[in-house]
Amino acid sequence: MNIINSISFRLAIGLAFGISILGGCQHSPAPINSPNHESSEATEIKPAPTPKVVKLALMSVTRDEINYQATEQGKITRAFKSDIRGLRGLRGLRGLRGLRGACEPLKDDFALHLLVPKRTGKTLKARPTLYWWVSQSLSDVEVTFIMDKVSSPDDFEFSSPLIKKVLKMSVTKGIQALPFAKILPPSLPNFALEPDVEYQWTLLIACHPDFPSLDIKATGTIMRVVPSAILSEAIETAIDSELPNLYARYGIWYDAIHKLSVQIQNQPKLRRVLAILARQVGLNKVADYELLISDQ
């Protein structure tokens, strides 16, 4: 009897020990409403994307990203004066009959903008292409281009601008290119921007020859800079499609706009990238128009 009891006791101990080991090797099921259960269920329904899918998604986002590093120092140098609604009530005045010229066909909400940032934009070019925008088409209109060095606060002398040229043109609504060679007068065929010198350029539409205060004009500034060794190397190794983003990242505004405009001729959808760039510097009307065109 003692032997039987001893054997039974050992079997009971062994069985209990085996059950405890098996129980330690298994995970208890989580309650239905526990966070672990929800996470496990979500993982089974929506598996994590493969590395290939993630890579493609990043490429599609990065392609349209552009970030202009604006100059934070210095005063705001961009200015617009393109509201002609105040001129409409003056048409009947005897002295303003000349208004029926250049400004007669313009709508009340007409806008003339230069594609420039709020503070001085930079370029690497000695003779860059400049860009501007109009809210409606113009036919046989005379636009005066003016460029001069930005004077210092202590400079009170008034002199003729470096360049002043009247351009007669017909343009469609939207962005217009102004190659540097087009604005040079015959007396300055070899004119080029000097490095580290700030220039102001203006486009002007005269509404009346005797009343300059009625002129519609837009002004911006530009400075030619010498690229650093790092930027020069980056430009040399970059492919053409990367240059707009590269220029923008280094604050080279005019070259970023020019490269984008050239690429848009073959890839119209890049207008959306130009719109992003315009929005970053407050050119909201230009951005809205470019987005509208890109969707057509």
User: Domain for residue 29, yes or no?
Assistant: no
Domain containing 249 equals 227-296
* pLDDT for residue 39: 36
User: Domain for residue 158, yes or no?
Assistant: yes
Pairing of strands 121-123, 216-224: parallel
Contact 133, 286 (CB under 8 A): yes
Give yes or no: residues 219 and 85 share one domain: yes
Span 98-156, pLDDT tens digits: 454 567 788 888 899 999 999 999 999 999 999 999 999 998 888 999 999 998 766 66
pLDDT, block means (10 residues), the chain with 296 residues: 46 44 40 37 38 31 70 79 61 51 77 95 98 93 94 71 94 96 92 96 86 86 96 97 96 97 95 96 96 86
Q: What does the alpha-carbon distance between residue 50 and residue 39 come to, in Å, rounded to a whole number?
A: 19
* pLDDT for residue 34: 37
Give yes or no: residues 87 and 175 share one domain: yes
User: Domain for residue 202, yes or no?
Assistant: yes
Contact 112, 82 (CB under 8 A): yes
* pLDDT for residue 152: 73
Give yes or no: residues 109 and 240 share one domain: no
User: Domain for residue 40, yes or no?
Assistant: no
The string of DSSP letters for 50-109 reads: PHHHHHHHHHHHHHT--------SS----EEE---GGGGGGTTSGGGGGGGSTTTT--TT
Give yes or no: residues 163 and 269 share one domain: no
Which helix (H) or strand (E) segment holds residue 169: the answer is strand 163-171
Span 169-197, pLDDT tens digits: 999 999 999 999 999 999 999 999 999 99
Give yes or no: residues 178 and 252 share one domain: no
Give yes or no: residues 211 and 247 share one domain: no
pTM given for the model: 0.74
* pLDDT for residue 73: 65
* pLDDT for residue 130: 98
* pLDDT for residue 3: 44
Contacts (Cβ under 8 Å, ≥6 apart) of 117 = 68, 70, 71, 78, 220, 253, 281
- Measured over the CA atoms of residue 251, residue 253, residue 258 and residue 261, the dihedral's sign is positive
Q: Indicate the number of domains in the chain.
A: 2
User: Domain for residue 164, yes or no?
Assistant: yes
Domain boundary pick from 207, 225, 243: 225
* pLDDT for residue 270: 95
Domain boundary pick from 210, 225, 240: 225
* Nearest CA among 146, 147, 126, 149 for reference residue 225: 126
Give yes or no: residues 88 and 196 share one domain: yes
* pLDDT for residue 140: 87
